[in-house]
Each structure stands twice: as C-alpha cells, then as structure tokens.
Amino acid sequence: MSELLNPKDFIITRKRKQYKFALFSNSDLCMEYADWDKSFAPNVLEIGAGTGLFSAELARRHADWRVAAIDVKGDRLQKGARLATEQGTNNVRFLRTRGDQLLELFEPGGIDTLWVTFPDPHPKKRSAGRRLMHPTFLRIYAQLLSSDGALYFKTDSHQLFTWTLEQLVAEKWRLDEISFDLHDTELADDYKIMTTYEQKFTAEGLPTHFVKAYPPVAAD
C-alpha cells in the first residue's frame, strides 16, 4: 500500500508560497506587469530569470548598468530581490510578466544585452511554441535589441540547445560565440555567473551550453 499523504504538508507548502509572494509584493525592487515603471529603462534584460540571482549579480558587478529580471513567477523572483536589497544594489528590478508582453513594457532598440537563462525546455513537440527561443520570441528579441545589441542563451539541455541553434540560423541571427561546455572555456566571466538551476545541474556533472548571437541585419 502506498504511503498516505498528509494534508498538513499541502497547508505548509501553500503558506510558504504565500509568504514568498508577500516578500515579492513588499519589495521596492519587485513589480507586476501593470505597475512597471517605464522610467527605469533597462539596458540589460534576463528572460525566464527564475530566482533572479543571475541578474542580481550582474547588477552588483556593473553599477552603471540597468538590469531587469523577468519571470512569470513572483515567488521565485523575490529571492534575487532580497539579495540585491541586502547588497544595496539599486540598479536592478524584478518584474513578473510573460515573454509575449515585452514589447508593451520596453522600447524597441533599447536593450544592449538580452539573456535567456536555463528556460523550461518544453521537450514535447507540441509544446515547441512555448520555448523561449522559439522564432516567435526571437522576433520580439530582435525588435528589443539595439543596433549592436546581442542575445545570450544558456541551458543544460543538449536537445534544446541544438534546436535553438537551428532556429537562430533559420531566422538569420548571426552566431558569434558558441560552447557546449561554457565553464571549461576562457569566455567572459560574466557569462559564467550561475543561475540557481545552473548551480544544480553543474553539481550533477551536466555542462552548460552557451551561445551569443546578433539579430538579423535589417533589410534596407
């Protein structure tokens, strides 16, 4: 007979989640889609930011940058916001929104650096449209990036990475730097700042796949 589940476990989990959402709501660095302050005007975006620790560290290292971390789950983002607050980092914001809403929030051509870090691979073929490196999203990113801006992508999923390279080539993005094992390279240290998932997968012996790409050249 399978072990019976204790209803109290669900109550504890729900309370923990409510507590994390409360931390998000009470942080000056966290915002909902409807409350986004467009005057912040970031030049660095992290899409699918999860806990936001990657963005928090980028902002700490580069005080002259304005960094925004985007995710659909505020209970995750509050972790990065707490760290930024503890470190006195004020040049970063954590925004709960969807990837298809980005053009409603940010000016086209205003982003210099756009990161997509360890997104859900959505491995089933019928879910391909939800992948954050799907052509639908790549076209949004291309509009957001400045004339010399670049897209940076990291994942532990070999299948997602090779599929992503195919999409980038098909969409005429210009590949600049590629690695199937980022942490075994001499590429920039900023690239090697670890997300929460990256820490987990690296500890399990999985390499980080990485690509930097420039958007298609606009036709005259």
For residue range 156-166, list pLDDT tens digits in order. 999 999 999 99
- Distance, in Å, from the CA atom of 4 to the CA atom of 2, rounded to the nearest integer, reads 6
Show which residues are catalytic: 120
- Distance, in Å, from the CA atom of 50 to the CA atom of 61, rounded to the nearest integer, reads 19
User: pLDDT digits over 20-67, tens only?
Assistant: 656 676 789 999 999 999 999 999 999 999 999 999 999 999 999 999
- Alpha carbon of 186 to those of 51, 181, 183, 191: distances in Å? 26, 11, 8, 10
Please say if the pLDDT value at position 1 is more than 50: no
Range 33-214: architecture per CATH: 3-Layer(aba) Sandwich (3.40)
pLDDT-derived band at 16 (thresholds 50, 70, 90) equals low
Please say if the pLDDT value at position 140 is more than 80: yes
